[in-house]
Amino acid sequence: MIKIIADTTCGLPLDILKQAGIEVLPQIITFGNETFRDDTDMDTGSFLEKLRASKTLPGTAAPSPSLYTPIYEQILAAGDTALVITPSAKVSGTFRSATVAAGEFQTDQIHIVDTSTIAGGLGSIVLAAHKWVDAGLTIEEVKENIMEMASCERLFFLVPTLKYLHKGGRIGGASKLVGTILQIVPILTVKEGQIEPFDKVRTVKQAIRTIVDLTAAYCENNPEPYLTISQCDSEPLLTQLSQELTAATGIHDIPRYTVPPAIVVHAGPGLIETSCFVARS
């Protein structure tokens, strides 16, 4: 049997992951000398309260290799295969931690996949992998499907300020936008695992319209677009974007997720993100 291991950066609610039998590891949030797991010690709401009261920006750390070790031991002892599905190694140390921990075992039954994405799209990939495992696909078939699906993602997001991305060193090619004197709203994306600018418009309204139009085109005649919306502290935009995407795509009940604290540390409050996947040939 293949056992999937994910982490909180996939943005899926913990109860959904546990119900599916998917192991989930935390990211670690640091406020000065204090550390918190973002699965048991702190959720996004309590994180925002602490962030607003803090005079300094928090940091993050990937789950340590020691958190993977007992999970690997349990899976291997049962004669099963471990499949670790991680966020982009260019924005998170999770892939490295999982790999370091796997090095303690002399086995080919631990497989680690870097999806080159994060948040809603990563969550969609985790759920799709769970479906493929249930359907009886082999580990190699599941890994191949994951990489193919990841290459088909179309992700867009907006943040009120680039300061969090800049301070956290996760800004990638979007660094060229820092310090601009123009009054612009950058539409950002993830390309080859790192954050890049996609477009620049003058207003949030224009940005939403651009994202909706692009996403609707990707979803057209697409039986499995895996469309999701992720946000933090962006309820008005979430409602607007959800309504406009439903009207443009005809997709009702679009999954809406709240991103975990580890993502908010680097993107900041006010984040809104869409993810979908173009039809695979």
pLDDT tens over the chain, length 281 residues: 999 999 999 999 999 999 999 999 999 999 999 999 999 999 999 999 999 999 888 999 999 999 999 999 999 999 999 999 999 999 999 999 999 999 999 999 999 999 999 999 999 999 999 999 999 999 999 999 999 999 999 999 998 877 777 664 444 444 444 444 456 788 999 998 888 889 888 888 999 999 999 999 999 999 999 999 999 999 999 999 999 999 999 999 999 999 999 999 988 899 999 999 998 76
Torsion 47-53-54-55 (CA) sign: positive
Residue 69 contacts residue 96 (beta carbons within 8 Å)? no
Residue 256 contacts residue 232 (beta carbons within 8 Å)? no
Structure tokens at 182: 């123009």
Type of residue numbered 234: S
Cα 256 to the chain's mean position, in Å?
A: 13
Residue 29 contacts residue 35 (beta carbons within 8 Å)? yes
Q: What is the pLDDT of residue 202?
A: 86
Residue 82 pairs with which residues in a beta bridge?
A: 3, 110
Q: What is the pLDDT of residue 57?
A: 85
Per DSSP, the three-state class of 29 is strand
Q: What is the pLDDT of residue 111?
A: 98
Listed residue (54, 218, 236) closest to 160, CA to CA: 236
Question: Mind listing the domains of the chain with CATH numbers?
Answer: 2-27+62-151 (3.40.50.10440), 153-277 (3.30.1180.10)
Cα 37 to the chain's mean position, in Å?
A: 17
Residue 130, CB half-sphere, CA atoms under 13 Å: how many? 17
Q: What is the pLDDT of residue 55?
A: 86
Residue 111 contacts residue 82 (beta carbons within 8 Å)? yes
Structure tokens at 163: 């300061």
pTM for the model stands at 0.92
Torsion 58-233-165-170 (CA) sign: positive
Type of residue numbered 109: Q
Task: Compute the distance between CA of residue 127 and CA of residue 224 in angstroms, rounded to an integer.
Answer: 13
Type of residue numbered 265: V
Task: Compute the distance between CA of residue 97 and CA of residue 94 in angstroms, rounded to an integer.
Answer: 5
Percentages helix, strand, coil for the chain (3-state, rounded to 5) are: 40, 25, 35
Residues 6+ apart with CB under 8 A from 9: 27, 87, 92, 94, 118, 119, 122, 260, 262, 263
Type of residue numbered 155: L
Q: What is the pLDDT of residue 184?
A: 77
